[in-house]
Amino acid sequence: MAKTIEEINERIKKGKAVVFTAEEIIDYAAEKGIKKAAQEVDVVTTGTFGPMCSSGAYFNVGHTKPRIKLGGGRTYLNDVPVYTGLAAVDLFLGATAMPDDDPRNKIFPGRFAYGGGHVIEELVAGKDVRLTATAYGTDCYPRKTLETYISLKDMNEAVLFNIRNAYQNYNVAVNLSDKVIYTYMGVLQPKMGNANYCSAGQLSPLLNDPYYKTIGIGTRIFLGGGIGYVVGSGTQHNPNVKRTEGGVPKMGAGTLSVKGDLKMMSPKWLRGTSLTGYGATLTVGIGIPIPILDEEILRYTMVRDEEIYAQVVDYSEAYPQCIPGSLGEVNYRELRSGKISVQGKEVPTAGLSSYFKAREIAEILKEWIEAGKFFLTNPVEPIPSVDSGIVFKSLKERPIKKR
Amino acid sequence: MQKKRVVLNYPSHLTDQPVISRLIKNYDLEINILRGWITPREQGRLVLEITGKRPALEAGMNYLKEMGVETQPLAQDVRWHEDRCTHCSACISICPTKALDIDRKRMEVSFHKDRCIACEGCIPVCPYQAMEILF
């Protein structure tokens, strides 16, 4: 018999909800039988902890006396530039922003030791950061410069707002060239010396709800150690990719946009990240509860690493030049074992997404629900699925005519 | 037999002397040079793995001291900041000696100082600056 979110919440309130992590449910449901387990289990918790670009935060820093209009001027947090084209004292800080004087890749490979993600980590840790700005001055906002320390508690609002997170599956990156390359998938050794992957596999949120039957707009989630919400599908959301018989995408597919109150989050789950030769970003911890409304939804959460496949892609030529195709398919059980076989060659693997931390997030979310501190939400709207007709576009360049 | 991994700091006046050669010949020690470099002021630095009988090893270390070579265990100079490590495992396929290792069941990364040869391979691959080598 099917359950409702309201019924599950009622059981959470009474401290009677039955909760498993996406790892635990696999053996439990196999042993109990799907029918029985679907009746018994209320929630399956998922987790992921990896570098997630397209993350950022917005802040309202409060008005100065006399007033300053930061919009149209230049503003920095710890020398990292923020976007001010919003209003007087609203700022948006992107995770990959970096100080103007960072040498980038001028001394190759650049270290990218400090960027927007690191500012977010420091703010969440309660530290003071330097807010510096220059503005053009107006009659109502006469001030032209600002230099002050500021911390999260000084601000009116501080909101983590990530427009693309929690990628449903991802490429496995290798390097076919004869020199080391430095990518957003890590340092890749020549001649397929290593292979890097980036997904929590069987623990990953969207791999446990492959058709987005429960995760939608308004879903309450674990975000950065606090509470957040799914805003909608993320940018590059692309449900129409090759899938296994079980419905699991065999490559990057769905994404989520998420938000949450930064003041409630923890530096343990939001980490500034430096990818040598590539840039800075933010590593984000996300955990999403999946309500076990019926047998079908339970079956999706029983997905195992060996049933989740990813494409091996060459990042020396195929990826940068947008040459489609894959060097082969491997599953996450193989990836997590430490070696895979690609075109007859044994290649050592390493992760960028932490399975260890993903498990910890799923366990924390489970504890919150069991303790009656976290309730599930009905999505306001589903996010687009395979029937949406979404086509993932590349940029078609059109030459600009010179007059 | 005993094995030691040490960092040697040579003052500039010793760089033209066959210190290591004497260490091998006179003390019957096996030397494996892990790293070596000379700074612009002609001070030398060597990372060695020394193997030999305990008395010989002690005598050899005394010889180095008498010569004016500062020695310290390698392990002191390599740090794994556990609080910064996210156990992502990016370092695992790079580390040649399994000093950085992973428990595949728990997917938990650990650092074993005694296996580290200070090759620095982990430094650029760690996205969280969790590895530090203080030379």
Query: What interface predicted TM-score (ipTM) does this complex get?
Result: 0.95
Confidence band for A347, pLDDT divided at 50, 70 and 90: very high
Of B86, B93, B124, the CB nearest to A357: B86
* B92–A contact, CB cutoff 8 A: yes
Q: Using the beta-carbon criterion (under 8 Å), do A194 and B89 form an inter-chain contact? A: no
* B125–A contact, CB cutoff 8 A: yes
Predicted local confidence at residue B84, as pLDDT: 97
Distance from CA of A261 to the nearest CA of B (A): 23
CATH superfamily of B2-76: ACT domain (3.30.70.260)
* A105–B contact, CB cutoff 8 A: no
What residues of B are in contact with residue A356 (Cβ under 8 Å)? 86-87, 106-109
**Helix B54-67 × helix B19-27 angle, to 10°:** 150
Residues of chain A with pLDDT > 70, as a percent, come to 100
* B104–A contact, CB cutoff 8 A: yes
For the beta carbon of residue A188, count every other beta carbon within 10 angstroms: 24
Q: Are A364 and A203 in contact (CB under 8 A)?
A: no
Mean pLDDT (whole number) for A374-402: 96
- Residue corresponding to tokens 């530090």: B132
Domain ranges of chain B: 2-76, 81-133
Mean pLDDT (whole number) for A114-128: 98
Is the pLDDT at A25 greater than 70, yes or no?
A: yes
Q: Are A348 and A339 in contact (CB under 8 A)?
A: yes
- Residue corresponding to tokens 């360049």: A397
The DSSP bridge partners found for residue B38 are B44
Dihedral, CA atoms, B94, A274, A220, A166, nearest 10 degrees?
-50
Is the pLDDT at A356 greater than 90, yes or no?
A: yes
From the CA atom positions of chain A, what is the Rg in Å?
23
For A142-165, b where at least 16 C-beta lie within 10 A, e where not — what string? ebeebeeebebeebeebbbbbbbb
The DSSP bridge partners found for residue A131 are A77, A148
In angstroms, rounded to a whole number, what is the distance separating the alpha carbons of residues A95 and A58?
Answer: 11
A199 to chain B: closest CA residue = B88
A285 to chain B: closest CA residue = B86
Q: Using the beta-carbon criterion (under 8 Å), do B124 and A351 form an inter-chain contact? A: no
Distance from CA of A329 to the nearest CA of B (A): 20
Mean pLDDT (whole number) for A160-173: 98
* B89–A contact, CB cutoff 8 A: yes
A348 to chain B: closest CA residue = B93
The DSSP bridge partners found for residue A217 are A381
Predicted local confidence at residue B44, as pLDDT: 85
Predicted local confidence at residue B41, as pLDDT: 78
Mean pLDDT (whole number) for A72-100: 98
Which among A306, A360, A356, A284 has a CA at the least distance from the CA of B89?
A: A356
Predicted local confidence at residue A1, as pLDDT: 65
Q: Using the beta-carbon criterion (under 8 Å), do B89 and A351 form an inter-chain contact? A: yes
Give whole-number Cα distances, B54 to A281, A325, B61, B86, B116, in Å: 50, 59, 11, 39, 22
Predicted local confidence at residue B72, as pLDDT: 87
Query: The tokens of A369 are what?
Result: 């629900």
Residues of chain A with pLDDT > 90, as a percent, come to 99
Is the pLDDT at A157 greater than 90, yes or no?
A: yes
Is the pLDDT at A202 greater than 80, yes or no?
A: yes
All residue ranges of chain B with pLDDT < 50 are none
Q: Using the beta-carbon criterion (under 8 Å), do A359 and B107 form an inter-chain contact? A: yes
Residues in chain A: 403
Predicted local confidence at residue B43, as pLDDT: 84
Which among A279, A296, A255, A286 has a CA at the least distance from the CA of A361?
A: A286
Predicted local confidence at residue B40, as pLDDT: 78
Phi, psi of B43 (to 5 degrees): -85, 145
Predicted local confidence at residue B1, as pLDDT: 86
Q: Using the beta-carbon criterion (under 8 Å), do B104 and A336 form an inter-chain contact? A: yes
Mean pLDDT (whole number) for A37-49: 98
Distance from CA of A2 to the nearest CA of B (A): 34
Predicted local confidence at residue A86, as pLDDT: 97
Farthest CA pair distance, chain A? 73
* B119–A contact, CB cutoff 8 A: no
Is the pLDDT at A288 greater than 90, yes or no?
A: yes
Distance from CA of A136 to the nearest CA of B (A): 38
Fold match flag (B2-76 vs B81-133):
yes
What residues of A are annotated to the active site?
A: 140
Mean pLDDT (whole number) for A154-176: 98
Q: Does domain B81-133 have CATH number 3.40.50.2000?
A: no
Q: Are A390 and A253 in contact (CB under 8 A)?
A: no
Determine the 3-state secondary structure of B69 from DSSP: coil
Predicted local confidence at residue B135, as pLDDT: 67
Which among A276, A257, A282, A270 has a CA at the least distance from the CA of A80?
A: A282
